[in-house]
A and B are shown apart, each in its own frame.
Chain A
């Protein structure tokens, strides 16, 4: 039973998707019920799984799909970190999406693919080898496409095309890498570090090449510069989709994949000895600075947030390139923290757009008066991104900074400081406009007037994730906090 749990977790979203596809378009109530029911059930199941993992078990299920090649679903501590994040954020995003899409067409299709998307994310987190990872990684591509083109407008169709061109090409490169490493070392399961470590020295150059291919393939979704082009364009999608793309699913899948490759396939020791981490750290640093600089130039709120994502996700990658426990913790914990904060920001941006028709930064003047709660949540997210205490982002940056110093990579600290300043530079003007500029005579396109702030279904998820961001910072010392969990992973798996 315990070993079936990973499959059951996967199936909750998958079956939810199937049921939603089958439901007639008009059955809004039932569909929401299925959606939320599945989300809650999944959280419960993940909590159960976490219990097992804490107790030292590793539930696992495998199926041989080709001779000598298995599909493995396995719940280890790192898997639980990502699965926990996505299951929790899925619940909020679903709530938000129900509110956001109220009264719009094609909801059956939307929510079906939405669930499929989460099922793929679950598969990515629970994958036990690169092959399984790849299966769900590509499934994620397929299930996000319909969400991006959901509106059917020429721009969204174009965005979908560009998204596919990037991600499918990235997938193809990733596949070469996976096939190559399989040919070199056989079916490496995550955590089985002996295979690579014991490889004959003359194969090492090949292994380096494969490493580069894997990172290149995964880097497309992780939006490493210069592979990030799709991300800002995909902003035409509805806000819940953007939230999903940036905080939970796509970008994170890429980053998570890089974490797996470095820690669970090559092993941090091997990667460090072979000097594979420094180039990666440099790419991550460039991405961080470039993303921030580009964010500064944007006038559209969502585009600014998108470039901010480009920058923030590379913190995770930067963290794992820092050899040592603190850097690792910093990187892993930012996987969660960035998710919480970024989802908050996107919810808020969606609220502004849906309530008052605000899309541009200069339209934000005085919106704090009209929508105080949303704006408060937005402020929390922005502070977190800048790295101000007590919001969770501060914790990430603290660990990353000390980790860099311990790893002897002092220049990383300079990158962190510079990026924090840039973060401040592109978020603080927004906050200034929101809170301190006078209220304009009219809003660009006021749609929701019934409520003081905005519709409860839109407001609640934003507030909840904002509170969670603060909580993650305040209670970082607890064992169940993201930091606590990241420490557990680090202690248990990487630094025995």
Chain B
């Protein structure tokens, strides 16, 4: 039964993926992409990875989807006519097809040739978990055992926003924004926002024991912000630049400070003192949640401060 379900999921993944790439117009492709993301969230649950499922739904499908749709909104003006890319006569098509088929073949070969052995790392994580300061193994890996990866990953996120800031700085005129002046929506928002904030806090709190954590919480926070933004409430860099920047960097800075503080004791980087591990991780997560929320939100809002419509060169 479950195998059937899995196979169904598998085929829907492949179908949605193909539709994402081939559906015309592009808008439908993006919609299929978001659906693919939601499907993936289900798959992650089947793979016993609820953390990823949450993240996939919130970030992979949610934020990425919103970003794509937002971009499409600009494309719309251009009457972007895209013809079907699948032209059997073009060499490009055949090269792409052959490459992708050979990739599939090779990967399949690799998969079949590799025996399924339990990884020793999972065991080590289980053994070290009591000393990690948290109960949830994934949070332990992310913020303790492999916290260095996470630190750099936040760096990647900051770089993305930095480039956004750079490009947005080119011109400071404000673009007219899509607004949702619907009163009903406003009312819904009034209910939804506190609810989402609560969800976010819960996810953060839960992270130490069960699925959830800074990323998922941050994503929900960002989603809240995006909703507010769409309804006309501007929480952007322009409102208070310094404060906003500080908010964006808060998570990264706190993380960095905690990481460096180990050096004072002569410990390796990112070492948490034994008793403080849990608290430090919580502090980091708190700061990260806020910053990730702000960063993801800004990823969405920043491009809205680009050249005004009428000044765009054709």
A and B touch in the complex (CB under 8 A): no
